[in-house]
């Protein structure tokens, strides 16, 4: 039976300010991308999020971003290759330390927001990020929005890093396969999200905003935890996966990706 992962960007609260409904979403997913303090989160939030994931058997990956708490990591910044390497190492290392104290290990790394946008096309910055991921060990994986032919996944593959492609039922796509990012999250049409997942599972394609079919190499479905109806979208994705005769489960680094 084909196994499909459901991941979500979580742990994005900060101090007394609450973002998303992690307590409700985490039991419904299989993998969490946890903010590491640069674009969102704080040490207590990180620890609480990892504990909640552990209680629910959810694999934990690092979601490093640019140092931009005020802009939620969604504003582009001019950074150097040394910055890119250090930012990923620093943030993933902090999360790895928390995981280690709880007897768990880091599952993957996935860039957030504007950091994702930068390493999507800038090979000079993508290479040090790939190197940082590789330096965590060859069992690390990169989660990346499919198609996985952008600068960072290309560099990661050269380092022998497994790249896990994702689809996004809560975002729209351009005809070239790039995501149309939302500065502020909008409510998602739940039935449309269901149909996106079902079509991808049946045909291996998504539909761009203009109707263009996009072939995608993916193993995981990502739903943003800060969406106003994130829980309903996660449940729709689960329903679509199960209705297609697949099981929901995390990506296992030890199991080769399906061709």
Q: Which residues share a beta bridge with 141?
A: 162
Q: What is the pLDDT of residue 183?
A: 67
Q: Give the tens place of pLDDT for each residue, 94-119.
A: 999 999 999 999 999 999 999 999 99
| Domains of the chain, CATH where assigned | 3-246 (3.20.20.370)
pLDDT band per the 50, 70, 90 thresholds, residue 178: confident
Report the percent of the chain where pLDDT is more than 90: 86
User: What is the mean pLDDT of the segment spanning 192-215?
Assistant: 95
Of 41, 40, 29, 37, whose CA–CA distance to 5 is shortest?
Answer: 29
pLDDT band per the 50, 70, 90 thresholds, residue 46: very high
User: What is the mean pLDDT of the segment spanning 212-226?
Assistant: 92
Tokens for 17?
Answer: 């300010």
In the predicted structure, residue 198 carries a pLDDT above the cut 90:
yes
In the predicted structure, residue 259 carries a pLDDT above the cut 70:
no
Q: Give the tens place of pLDDT for each residue, 157-171.
A: 999 999 999 999 999
User: What is the mean pLDDT of the segment spanning 216-221?
Assistant: 94
Q: What 3-state DSSP class applies to 169?
A: coil
pLDDT averaged over the chain?
94
Q: What is the pLDDT of residue 34?
A: 98
- Render 197-234 in DSSP notation, one character per residue: HHHHHHHSEEE-TTS-EEE---SEEEEETTSTTHHHHH
Q: What is the pLDDT of residue 258?
A: 61
User: What is the mean pLDDT of the segment spanning 130-155?
Assistant: 93
pTM, two decimal places: 0.94
Q: Which residues share a beta bridge with 224?
A: 9
Q: Give the tens place of pLDDT for each residue, 55-100.
A: 999 999 999 999 999 999 999 999 999 999 999 999 999 999 999 9
């Amino acid at each position: 039976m084909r196994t499909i992962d459901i991941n979500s960007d979580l742990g994005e609260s900060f101090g007394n300010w609450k973002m998303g409904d992690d307590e409700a979403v985490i039991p419904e997913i299989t993998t969490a991308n946890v903010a590491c303090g640069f674009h969102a989160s704080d040490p207590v939030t990180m620890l609480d999020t990892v504990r909640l994931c552990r209680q629910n058997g959810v694999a934990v990956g690092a979601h490093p971003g640019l140092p931009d708490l005020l802009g939620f990591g969604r504003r582009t910044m001019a950074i150097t290759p040394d910055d890119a390497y250090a930012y990923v190492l620093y943030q993933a290392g902090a999360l790895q330390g928390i995981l280690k104290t709880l007897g768990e290990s880091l599952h993957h790394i996935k860039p957030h927001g504007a950091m994702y946008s930068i390493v999507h096309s800038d090979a000079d910055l993508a290479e040090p990020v790939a190197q940082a991921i590789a330096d965590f060990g060859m069992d690390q994986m990169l989660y990346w929005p499919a198609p996985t032919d952008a600068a960072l996944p290309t560099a990661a593959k050269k380092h022998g890093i497994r790249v896990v492609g994702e689809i996004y039922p809560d975002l729209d796509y351009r005809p070239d396969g790039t995501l149309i990012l939302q500065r502020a999250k909008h409510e998602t049409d739940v039935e449309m999200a269901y149909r996106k997942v079902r079509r991808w599972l049946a045909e291996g394609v998504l539909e761009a905003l203009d109707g263009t079919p996009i072939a995608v190499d993916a193993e995981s479905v990502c739903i943003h935890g800060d969406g106003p109806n994130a829980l309903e979208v996660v449940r729709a994705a689960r329903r679509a996966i199960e209705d297609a005769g697949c099981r929901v489960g995390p990506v296992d680094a030890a199991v080769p990706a399906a061709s």
